[in-house]
Amino acid sequence: MTNTDEQRALASGTSSSVSNREEPDPNKSPAMEAITHERKVKMLRQRNNVKQCFAITHQRNVELRRRDNVKQFFTKVKTIKSVWDKHTCEWLAALPLTMGGEAIPLFESNIDEVSEDYQLYPSHSWLTQGVNAEDPDIDFYKLSDTELREPKNRLFMPLGRLFVNAANGNRFNERTPGKRARLTRWTGYEVFVTNDLGLWIVFDGRSLASHAPLWYPVPCGLTTDFGRGIARLLPSLSELEHATSENAWRSMKTTYQTGFMVINEVETSEVRKIEAGAIAQDTAHTAGKKKSKVDVGETPLTSAIKEENEDQVKRLLELGADVNYSNIHGQMPLALAIRRNNDAIVMLLLNTGKVNLDLEIYGFETLFKYLTGCK
């Protein structure tokens, strides 16, 4: 089978189209122009109709790591602290668009002298659709088995597919006709990042109906000890640049669950609730590191203001934090911001249009009187 035949075969099992290119020019990166959020929303809404480009390069990981786009990817990934950061979330969700046609090297494995290079090919998810939502979030989904039992309260964002570069014919895979000594083939697994930055792989059961079983799903050393299903590949996306097959295997051993999965839409309100809880927990954790005893009377908003964390304040306000709710000491958010001479946070609070200047603070005067000194 020629390389073009191979790509057609991969496309036929997923209703996607495949580029006829064999190897992109390593010195020329795919277009990385900024994609507007509205454009991204439109494309993700229509993900089942999106044509996806898989430019199968058959390159080893050592070659892929020399590519400029791959270097930029790892530079960005190691700085990621939270998926709830607005720019991080949009960057991750747009990867199937901005890095379509690229191959991202993950790690190498050598089991019984069988050399394998694992790679991520960015793409949208093609898992079978499960539950629909009335107001679906544009970035996150939930996964469940075919009986719609959800595997814990995780949110999943599609990143792409797990490919393996290995010898054409070894103890794990079957040889396919052709002159190449090594081939890059799809394992049948998709790759997701979760709301806690974990990297998960999920087997696409529909790949078993492959029109070209020698090309996908291809058995590999990493998954041979686990039943087809779902498993956490790595605990954190930030570890990706220095990931090893040993770390991946240990992570999978403690998290794998057999069974085919479907992808379910999630209500936007549920995602916002989970996000608000994560931000509140992060705020409390940050405050706890700076003083031995955390003030349990603080709200997430007043804590963020005391830390003068403008980004955190902005996000909490976007999530609907109450600007008139004082902490246990009777300190209101606006009063705290003015005390700290933080004009940026003061304006964020006032621009909500929800600050009630007639509320009494400290039990005897209004916020307006307190701020202006009027008697």
Q: Which amino acid is at 57?
A: T
Task: Burial-class residue 102 by CB neighbours within 10 Å (0-12, 13-18, 19+).
Answer: buried
| Domain span(s) for CATH 1.25.40.20 in the chain | 295-372
Sequence-separated (6 or more) residues with CB below 8 Å from residue 83? 89, 92, 157, 193, 194, 195, 196, 197
> What is residue 219's predicted lDDT score, i.e. its pLDDT?
92
Residue 182 β-bridge partners: 167
> What is residue 68's predicted lDDT score, i.e. its pLDDT?
95
What single-letter DSSP state applies at residue 361? Answer: E
Region for 131 from its dihedrals, namely left if φ exceeds 0, alpha if ψ lies in -120 to 50, beta otherwise:
beta
Structural contact between residues 181 and 168, judged by C-beta atoms closer than 8 angstroms = yes
Q: Name the token pair of 370.
A: 């307190």
> What is residue 38's predicted lDDT score, i.e. its pLDDT?
46
Structural contact between residues 237 and 197, judged by C-beta atoms closer than 8 angstroms = yes
Site of tokens 């909500």: 352
Residue 263 β-bridge partners: 129, 143
Structural contact between residues 352 and 323, judged by C-beta atoms closer than 8 angstroms = yes
Looking at domain 295-372, what is its CATH homologous superfamily?
A: Ankyrin repeat-containing domain (1.25.40.20)
> What is residue 374's predicted lDDT score, i.e. its pLDDT?
53
DSSP 126-139: -SPB----SSEEEE
> What is residue 31's predicted lDDT score, i.e. its pLDDT?
39
> What is residue 355's predicted lDDT score, i.e. its pLDDT?
81
> What is residue 150's predicted lDDT score, i.e. its pLDDT?
65
215-220-225-226 Cα dihedral, nearest 10 degrees = -50
> What is residue 284's predicted lDDT score, i.e. its pLDDT?
55
Residue 141 β-bridge partners: 156, 265
Report how far residue 102's alpha carbon sits from residue 53's, in angstroms, rounded to the nearest whole number: 9
> What is residue 165's predicted lDDT score, i.e. its pLDDT?
95
> What is residue 265's predicted lDDT score, i.e. its pLDDT?
93
Report how far residue 24's alpha carbon sits from residue 5's, in angstroms, rounded to the nearest whole number: 18
For every one of its 375 residues, what pLDDT tens digit does the chain have, with 9 covering 90 and above? Answer: 445 445 545 544 443 333 333 333 433 333 334 444 444 444 444 444 444 445 577 899 999 999 999 999 999 998 998 898 888 999 999 999 899 889 999 999 998 889 999 999 999 999 999 999 999 999 999 999 877 776 557 899 999 999 999 999 988 888 988 888 999 999 999 999 999 999 999 999 999 998 888 889 999 999 988 989 999 999 999 889 899 999 999 999 999 999 999 999 999 999 988 888 777 766 554 544 444 344 445 777 888 888 888 888 888 888 777 887 777 666 778 888 888 888 888 888 888 888 876 665 545 455 555 555 555
| 164 sits in which H/E element | strand 156-167
Buried residues in 265-284 as b, exposed as e (16+ CB within 10 A): bbebebbeebbbeebbebbb
> What is residue 249's predicted lDDT score, i.e. its pLDDT?
94
